[in-house]
Structure 1
Amino acid sequence: MSVETWTRQIHQNGYCIIPDALDKGTIDKLAGDLDPVFAATPFCKGDFYGHRTKRFGGLLKRSRHMEPLVLHPGILALAETVLGQACDRIQLNVAQAIEIHPGEVCQVPHRDHDMWAGAKGEHEYLLNVIWPLDPFTWENGGTQIYPDSHGARGMTREDLGQPIIAQGKPGAAICFLGSTAHGAGANTTADARRSVIVGYSLGWLKPYENPWLAYPPQVARSFSPELAALAGYVQHRPNLGNYEGQCPSVLLGGEVPTHFPAIDALRPDQASMVAEFARSRRAEP
């Protein structure tokens, strides 16, 4: 996939749909692993989540076939390009499965970045990627995305206009910004439609899904270092998300010490400023 092409599209339109981003075989294996979880999960409660919709998270511990979605090199490159100038590193915001059943009504249009109360418009907070497990169509509740509703200018629009239906087959990646208005469509068919959503956000934000409860150390020890870092086992400079003053990845090794020395984890500019201040104080008579 051409990261430059998709980056240009998502900045221009607020979304992009990447066909064949991943092989269908991997998606089918993931769908098979999630089948019993969908069957056991009760319907949501609430007009936002939906009354004929099922949702559950923690997907990295439910199927080993989730890792290729979360660590997709092209998608990660897109997320870094969209978010990287506003943070030291990105993080996994959510890995959630969604099943919309017949009779579900369309979801209220919304922007996912509104889960955070910070000022909007200067930078993006989030990149979401929907991976269809079933084909997305107008009839079965394919996600409705409002083009050009993103960013500082798009957020001033009083009329969102007409949405497009994010149509795609398993293997496609439907990407949209946190500032892009969207909502699940109504399912007027006789069959449920399923998808997985993977979200990446600025590393200094509180994530939508609590990663340390979803993936406690005994689970995250089986992750690759890159995946563990995305799932919260890393610090965001300066010193955010630390455990006893150290990177929380210390919990994923062998024997974990009872006591730790706290270690600075500063940005280069902060480290230089602190070092200069310390030198000046040591030089004083």
Structure 2
Amino acid sequence: MIRHRWQRETGDAIMTEPLPTSASRLIEQLFDQGWSVLSHALPESVIAALDADLAPAFAETPFCQGPFYGETTKRFGRLLTRSPHAEALVRHPLITRIARQILSPWCDCIQLNVGQAIAIHPGAPAQVPHRDQDMWQAPKGEIEYLVNIIWPLTPFTADNGATLVWPRSHGAQALMPGPVTDPIAVGMEPGSALILLGSTLHGAGANRTAAVRRAIVTGYSLGWLKPYENPWLAYPPAVARRFSPELAALAGYRQHRPNLGNFEGQCPSVLLTGAPDRPLAAIDALRPDQQDMVAAFAARQS
């Protein structure tokens, strides 16, 4: 069942607001097909500016090593330090609402799992089909662990390595021995976004052209999982202090109840105002069910 409300965190309170119609429609497509495309998610000018900012890193980054990453492919992270335009992708309002809605049954809050630039060069073979959730060795088939978004920096075509997606390969189908459908090459223009459930089978296509195919992958996972990109190394406090509170929270400067990811027993956001100059008192950050359990125990003792 799809819950057509989303939760917004404001300080210690969690408010519920109606889910926008566009988000509701995309979520229905995601649960039906495992993927969806949000056309015109951002202006092409924003994507072009981001691509220009990343051009030096694309030029300087060596090719990957290993058959999964692809030895004719370049990849790099730390996008929020490389371009001010990266935040528009990471904090896209509609997409983050969708991610929260899909993942909220299994977590207290979501986190930024990945922000990675990818360039697939001419002659690159197709990537092995895979499900991004398989980075975690955990039960599959009932829980969604992440939502990924692929943003083209250059047009995606069937010839230049557009992402191949196997429709309806998600959810319980991830437990089946093979895909139930043929793949679709998802053609897109810069400014659009391909949204994938973490359980959906997909992979980059082969680049049979003479041009480089470039893209950005952003993604959100359950807030209690170890993320793909280590956020505190990618964005240490000296860097994260320049972020908005919302961006810093996505990038790891937020506790996940109960007390996960804390610094000296407090939310790591305390580091965003400078290193504490005195010892800190550990402060409970419990889920409501845990608060009730502690209260019931205290009542029995008295």
TM-score class, shorter: over 0.9
Aligned-pair distance for 1:277?
Answer: 1.3
| Aligned partner letter, 2:291 | A
50, 57, 60: which is aligned to 1:30? 50
Aligned-pair distance for 1:157?
Answer: 5.0
Contact 2:168 2:181 in 1 (8 A): no
Supply the distance in 2 between the matched residues of 1:259 and 1:98 (Cα, whole angstroms): 43
110, 113, 117: which is aligned to 2:133? 113
Matched, 1:158 2:178: yes
Find the counterpart in structure 2 of residue 187 from structure 1. 207
Matched, 1:278 2:298: yes
Question: TM-score scaled by structure 2?
Answer: 0.91
Deviation digits for residues 195-221 of structure 1 (CA, Å, limit 9, x no counterpart): 000010000100000000000000000
Worse overlay, 158-167 or 204-213: 158-167
Matched, 1:63 2:88: no
| Aligned partner letter, 1:198 | T
Q: What is the alpha-carbon root mean square deviation over aligned residues?
A: 1.1
Matched, 1:220 2:240: yes
Deviation digits for residues 169-196 of structure 1 (CA, Å, limit 9, x no counterpart): 0000100010000000100100101000
Matched, 1:77 2:97: yes
Matched position secondary structure for 1:2? helix
Find the counterpart in structure 2 of residue 141 from structure 1. 161
Matched, 1:235 2:255: yes
Deviation digits for residues 193-251 of structure 1 (CA, Å, limit 9, x no counterpart): 10000010000100000000000000000011111010000000000000110000000
Matched position secondary structure for 1:30? helix
Deviation digits for residues 42-98 of structure 1 (CA, Å, limit 9, x no counterpart): 000000000100000010111110111111110011101111111000000000000
Structure 1: segments with no counterpart, 5+ residues: none
Matched, 1:9 2:9: no
Aligned-pair distance for 1:160?
Answer: 4.2
Which structure has more RCO (C-alpha within 8 Å, separation ≥ 6)? 1
Matched, 1:253 2:269: no
Contact 1:148 1:154 in 2 (8 A): no
Supply the distance in 2 between the matched residues of 1:255 and 1:59 (Cα, whole angstroms): 25
Matched, 1:268 2:291: no
Structure 2: segments with no counterpart, 5+ residues: 1-20
Supply the distance in 2 between the matched residues of 1:160 and 1:60 (Cα, whole angstroms): 38
Question: TM-score scaled by structure 1?
Answer: 0.97
Aligned-pair distance for 1:255?
Answer: 5.0
- Count of aligned residue pairs for this structure pair: 282
Find the counterpart in structure 1 of residue 230 from structure 2. 210
Supply the distance in 2 between the matched residues of 1:97 and 1:144 (Cα, whole angstroms): 18
Contact 2:122 2:209 in 1 (8 A): yes
Contact 1:149 1:155 in 2 (8 A): no
Aligned-pair distance for 1:279?
Answer: 3.3
Runs of 4+ in 1 over 3 A off after TM superposition: none
